[in-house]
Chains A and B, each alone.
Chain A
Amino acid sequence: MSYFVDENGYYGKFGGAFIPEMLYPNVEELRVNYLKIMESDSFQKEFKSLLKDYVGRPTPLYFAKRLSDKYNTKIYLKREDLCHTGAHKVNNTIGQILMAKRLGKKRIIAETGAGQHGVATATVCALMGMECIVYMGEIDIARQAPNVARMKMLGATVIPALSGSKTLKDATNEAIRDWINNPVDTHYIIGSVVGPHPYPDMVARFQSIISEEIKKQLTEKEGKENPDYVIACVGGGSNAAGAFYHYLAEENVGLIAVEAAGLGIDSGESAATSVLGNEGIIHGSKTLLMQTKDGQITEPYSISAGLDYPGVGPLHAHLSESKRAEFISVTDDEAMKAGIELCEFEGIIPAIESSHALAVFNTKKFKKTDVVVLNLSGRGDKDLNTYINYFKL
């Protein structure tokens, strides 16, 4: 079975490009050109050079000794939290801004939930001197003020999404509407492995630098490319796609995708799409999504703003259905506890998204000899308020 996108833009039965005719020329232009551009020498040279000197790659693969002792297994942390702007998101925005330049685009639009992808997009637009418009739900703007300020400092215009539930999915709708209204000069930088083909594949390829580096680094440290397990959290699924990418075809590597259970799977306040979702169309992609039985998309919940997306990327829907990856859901409480534990054991404050992945050690038992790589997708600075309120610090 293949876990990579096929020539029609599908992962098994998931994916495709369910887009209005108004978007066809834009998406088609990208589809026809993205691989050619990405694989060209000049692109690779510029991309790799920016990842090295601007983002700070390669990010370390760190052996977490005290955490390993505690859980009686070998735990490595892939330190995406050390990327410029604080998370893996920038790997994709660097790639896409270079893509946009080569397609001759002058104006960049993006959606953001918590603001991390918005900041990463505003950053690369400042770097390239391009106009940047970020759509953000009105409710998210109110609860993520520091990231709104960051985007403004970086020169971006932040436009509130006032429609629907006024959060990430509506910000995405607004960005898509902007693209419909500006079909010629604008590139839409989607922040995750979601949206119409070729976005899920393109974003996964940009993020695949994560597993490319893990392979090299693990060879140095363990004398082998493959760990026994790779663990990553999944909202839309971009960090997991990057961490899994070069291991997808290596069936002896266990892939563990961690979703946010919120207050609990059956609480009605959850974002565990693989459990609660079913097949449908969201943002131009056929995938698993949370919806009413009547096909209206519902609003997910998680304490982590980066995980409360009502769908997952089509690659992850396929990994879930085919059982190639094990999907585990972790509640707010379990994640917060795991986050504090990493602070105390390793001196690293993780993003709450990444804390969900860390919580797996409390629910799943690994062997002493297992080599487990956990993708630490982001740092916790942005979540300080949530940590303060939760633990009454």
Chain B
Amino acid sequence: MNRINKKLQEDKKLLSIYFTAGFPQLNSTVSIIESLENSGVDMIEIGLPFSDPLADGPTIQESSTKALENGMTTEILFDQLKDIRKNVKIPLIIMGYFNPMMQYGIENFCKKCKEIGIDGLIIPDLPVKEYSENYKVIFEKYDLINIFLITPQTSQERIYFIDKISRGFVYMVSSASVTGSQNTFGTVQKEYFERIAAMNLKTPQIVGFGISNSATFKQATDKTKGAIIGSAFIKHLNQNGIAKINEFVTSIID
């Protein structure tokens, strides 16, 4: 069984952390992953940096630019991750934009992910239809779970469709925004969380965008399986360094 599916069966609210590979230093990747796992994080999204991350807010944009300046490439990331499964047991997901993956070659990219022990991919600009028609077969050949997004604007019909074709979890974007733009959740989001909960989807939902602390983590996971933190973690990493990762994680899930 894929590590993501196994993790989703655990009887707890899951905390997933996103970080941009190559930031703050080119070679931070492995130590960040190990610190996150040791701090009790359930799942990690490794961001493959892109020059034009159009679904991301300023924090992740800046970390991506810095990572590219540091020299991060797809090849280097794969090389850094080659022995990651010797120690790390939790699910690892690569999150990135489609163009760098295309240039690597989709089949090669998936094959490499499988060799390393990557469990899934989140590709914001690979639409559901393109995936289903052209790439699903390849992803499944290498046992990679493709994670789809839904937003408050996604129609009910489309949510049921995405639920049907999802194999891991549904990435529930908390609000109509790019990453990092919210600090609290208001009534609109609560209604959205309730509306989705009432749909009784077969696929567990994990909320992302706008989760930054213990309060928003609790709100986001009240009716869902878990939550993802990206921008807030990158800010913390930038200010406090890898040595203080445990402090950040503890402040969320204590």
Contacts and interface: CB of A to CB of B under 8 A. Distances in A.
Given A181-B177, A295-B102, A18 B126 contact: yes
B219 to A, nearest CB: 20
A163 interface: yes
- Point out which of A18, A24, A295, A297 has the most chain B C-beta atoms below 10 A from its C-beta: A295
B74 A281 contact: no
Contacts, number: 109
A280 interface: yes
Interface stretch (B39-47, B55-63, B195-203, B244-252): B55-63
Interface in A51-85: none
A299 B177 CA distance: 27
Nearest to B128: A21
A17 interface: yes
Contact of B173 (A21, A184, A281): A21
B233 interface: no
A222 to B, nearest CB: 45
Contacts of B189: none
Interface in B91-120: 97-104
A280 B102 contact: yes
Given A22-B149, A295-B102, A282 B52 contact: yes
A173 to B, nearest CB: 5
Interface string A309-347: 000000000000000000000000000000000000000
Nearest to B125: A18
Interface residues of A, number: 34
A133 B11 CA distance: 48
Interface in A168-206: 169-170, 173, 176-177, 180-184
A107 to B, nearest CB: 14
A20 to B, nearest CB: 4
Given A18-B98, A177-B178, A295-B102, A164 B150 contact: no
A282 B97 CA distance: 10
B52 A173 contact: yes
A294 B75 contact: yes
Interface in B158-176: 158, 173, 176
Nearest to B133: A8
Contacts of A25: 153-155
Given A181-B176, A296-B68, A164 B151 contact: no
A116 to B, nearest CB: 22
A180 B209 CA distance: 13
Nearest to B148: A21
- Point out which of A25, A294, A298 has the most chain B C-beta atoms below 10 A from its C-beta: A294
A273 interface: no
Contact of A21 (B97, B104, B149, B178): B149
B124 A20 contact: yes
Contacts of A18: 98, 125-127, 130
Contacts of A21: 124, 127-128, 148-151, 154, 173
Contacts of B176: 22, 180-184
B100 A295 contact: yes
Contacts of B102: 279-281, 295
A12 interface: no
Contacts of B181: 181
Interface string A245-289: 000000000000000000000000000000000011111100000
12 contacts: A169-B52, A173-B52, A173-B54, A177-B57, A180-B176, A180-B178, A281-B98, A284-B125, A294-B103, A295-B50, A295-B103, A296-B50
For the complex of A and B, the 9 pairs showing the least CB-CB separation, nearest first, are: A295-B100, A295-B103, A21-B149, A296-B51, A20-B124, A20-B55, A25-B153, A281-B99, A295-B99
Interface of B: 50-55, 57-58, 61-62, 65, 68, 73-75, 97-104, 124-128, 130, 148-151, 153-155, 158, 173, 176-178, 181
Given A21-B151, A22-B176, A164-B65, 9 more contacts: A18-B98, A163-B61, A163-B62, A177-B178, A180-B178, A282-B52, A294-B104, A296-B68, A296-B100
